[in-house]
Structures are given as structure tokens and as C-alpha cells.
Amino acid sequence: MHIAVYLPLVLPALAMVSARWLAWRLEPRTATWLLTTSALALAAASSAALAILAATALGQLPLLAVVGHWSARVVGRNDPVSIAEALTACLLLAAAACATIRAAVRRVRAIVRAARESHRLRSAGRLAVLSDPAPDAYALPGLPGRIVVTAAMLDALDDRERSALLAHERTHLTGAHYLFVAVAELSAAANPLLYPVASAVRYSVERWADERAAKVTGDRHLVARTVGKAALLTDGYHKKPFATLAAARGKLRRAGPVPRRVQALLAAPPGSSPVVLVFALGVLALAAASTAEAAHDLLALLQIVGSP
């Protein structure tokens, strides 16, 4: 148990340092699925590892020992985990549970607000144009979902750029991208090491929509120009600093998401990377196997201390 139970706690650190690289290298749809699945699996594995460590401390409580028909002293004598480690795991698990519940409540409230807003705009059809002076465009989840764009944004774009913008937002709706982001953010709430993975998922869903818009319009440069122009319009209206789109390739890894998206659209379409996929799936398999091994060891310990 002492080795297997700690692997699920260490592996999220590997995801933390590689998430942005994976989002950059992989085809966006593949990256979104892989990163989201990885975040969920690693959050579940690390939480299970903390629960297993915590169980070794709880197993030494006299009341639980009576209920479970084992000896608390025998558990303490045979337990390979120190009481300090087990109590620390209890605190971390409680903190993770509270953070996840808070994040889930916020996410559910946001989805409910989006559904209400979508219902309010039902007379506008699937495309709702708001007479708002602020340039903006977004996909609004709901039944059905809607694309919301302001008149200021439409006025600032030409016909082809509008088509690219709408294709981008339509992909967000049809791909249910808000669900991928929600799962990644809940996973990050359970394990803060996974926050870079959640950030990478937010980037990869935008790249997914960019690539789909490029395929629909047949013009990658058009989509790149539209992405940059829309970002400059919204950031300029809200008076936020914006990194130049002409960032050098050497600085691109430190640039914000929009310059990286533009650079990706100006390059060739991304291809598959089987080696990267195999490595990532191997990490997930290792996390699952180590968690299962630790759980098996805990059950074996309980059988030993519970035997007459």
C-alpha cells in the first residue's frame, strides 16, 4: 500500500506540467476528450487514494472498530501508514470535498441561469442579436442552445468574418463544450494540481471550434483574422491589455490563448500523435492500477485485523 497509494497523488503533477503541451500538440477534439478524461480520472484516483489513507486512521477509532468487528490496536500495529499521514489525508479529503461541492453549486447555478436566459430569448430563434454597444458573441447552453451576438460585434465584421464567427459559436453548442469545461473545472476543484489541465481544456475547446470554423469556411486565414479581430474588439472595449498578435514563435509558448490560437490557424491543420496518446493513456492506466492495488491492500488489512 505504501507505494501504490501515493502514485495517484503524484501523477496529477505530471498532468499539470504537460497539459498545455498536449493541448498544443494534439488535434483539438482529441485533446479535449483526452484532457477532460484525464482530469476526471486523476481527480477520482487521487481522491480515492486520500480516502484509502484516511481509512487507515478511521480504522483505529474504537467506535468504528466495534461496528466493524476488528481491533483498533491491531489496526494500528499492522497499518503501514503513519497516523500523521492518515490524518493529513483526512484533512485534504475534507477540503477537496468542500471545494468540489462549492464548484458544483456554482456550475449548476450558471447552467440554470444560462437555461433561463436561453428560454427568455426563445422568440429570437437559434441566433439572438442583442442591441448592445459592447462587442460580444457567445454560445448559450439550453434546450435548445442559442448563439448570442451583439449588434456592435456584427457591425465590426464583414460578411465572411460573420460566417466564421457563427460557425465557431455553433461548434460550441453542437459539441456541448460547456460540459467538458465543467468536468475539468470540477476535477480541478477536487485536486488543485489539475487547474492547468482545466485551463488547457478551455483552450482546446476554443481550438476545436476554430478548426471546425476553418473547415466550414474553407479558409484558415479568415478564421485567424476573425479570432484576432473579435478579441481586439472585446478587449479594446473593456480596456484590457492585449498581447500583440504578431508575437514571435519563440515567445508564443508564453503568450495568451488568443495569439496561440491565431498562430495555430496560420499553420497547417494539426495531425494525430499516436505516441502521445499511448503515453497519456498509459499514465491513466497506471493511476487506475495503483488505486486498485491500494484498495486491495486496504481490504486485505481489514481482513487480517478482523479475523479471529
C-alpha–C-alpha distance, residues 89 and 302, integer Å: 19
DSSP 129: E
**Pair 36, 183: CB distance under 8 Å:** yes
Residue 64: its pLDDT value, please?
57
What percent of the chain is modeled with pLDDT above 90? 38
C-alpha–C-alpha distance, residues 194 and 99, integer Å: 13
Residue 196: its pLDDT value, please?
95
Helix (H, G, I), strand (E, B) or coil at 139: strand
Give the model confidence (pLDDT) of 83-142 as tens digits.
Answer: 777 788 889 999 999 999 999 999 989 888 887 887 777 666 788 888 888 888 888 887
Examine the pLDDT at 305 and tell me if it is beyond 70. no
Q: Name the H helices within the chain.
A: 7-25, 28-58, 62-68, 72-78, 83-120, 151-156, 159-174, 177-190, 195-217, 220-237, 257-266, 274-306
The residue type at 138 = Y
Give the model confidence (pLDDT) of 184-228 as tens digits.
Answer: 999 999 999 999 999 999 999 999 999 999 999 999 999 999 999
Residue 306: its pLDDT value, please?
53
> What are the domain boundaries of the chain?
7-306
Provide the mean pLDDT of the chain.
Answer: 81
**Average pLDDT score over residue span 57-67:** 58
| Residues 6+ positions from 214 with CB-CB distance below 8 Å | 220, 222, 223, 265, 269
Instruction: Give the rounded distance of the alpha carbon of 58 from its chain centre.
Output: 32
**Average pLDDT score over residue span 58-79:** 57
**76: confidence class by pLDDT, cuts 50, 70, 90:** low
Residue 103: its pLDDT value, please?
94
C-alpha–C-alpha distance, residues 110 and 115, integer Å: 9
**254: confidence class by pLDDT, cuts 50, 70, 90:** very low
The residue type at 152 = A
Could you tell me which of 9, 7, 26, 1 has the C-alpha nearest to residue 279?
Answer: 26
Residue 244: its pLDDT value, please?
31
Helix (H, G, I), strand (E, B) or coil at 22: helix
Examine the pLDDT at 60 and tell me if it is beyond 80. no
Residue 251: its pLDDT value, please?
38
Residue 167: its pLDDT value, please?
95
Helix axes 220-237, 257-266, angle to 10 degrees: 160
**239: confidence class by pLDDT, cuts 50, 70, 90:** very low
Q: Which residue has the cell 486498485?
A: 292
Residue 270: Cβ within 10 Å count:
17
pTM of the full structure? 0.82
C-alpha–C-alpha distance, residues 148 and 110, integer Å: 16
Give the model confidence (pLDDT) of 24-47 as tens digits.
Answer: 888 999 999 999 999 999 999 899
Give the model confidence (pLDDT) of 255-279 as tens digits.
Answer: 468 889 999 999 888 877 787 778 8
Residue 243: its pLDDT value, please?
33
